[in-house]
A and B are shown apart, each in its own frame.
Chain A
Amino acid sequence: MNHTRVRDNLSPYLDGRLSPRQAARVEAHLRDCPECRFELESLRTTTALLRSLPNVPVPGNFALSASAVKEQTGFRRLNVAFGALRGAAVAVALMFLLFVAGDAYLGMGRLAGTAAPMMKQSADSAPEMAPETARPIAEALPQEQPIELAQAPAPEEEAPVAFALEVEAPATESDGAALAAEVETVSEATERKAPIKRGVASAPSPKPSMPSAMGGGGEPPAPKAEPTMLPEPTTISEVPTPTDLPRDLPTATPIPSRVALLITPEPEPETMPTAVPQRVAGASWSLWRLFRIGSGVLLGLLVTLCGALLWVRARRQL
Chain B
Amino acid sequence: MMNNKEQMLFDIGIIDFVLVDLMEYLDTHPFDQAAMDYFNHYAKIKNQMVKEFSQKYYPLTKDLAESNKEWRWGSAPLPWEGVC
Chain A complexes with chain B: no
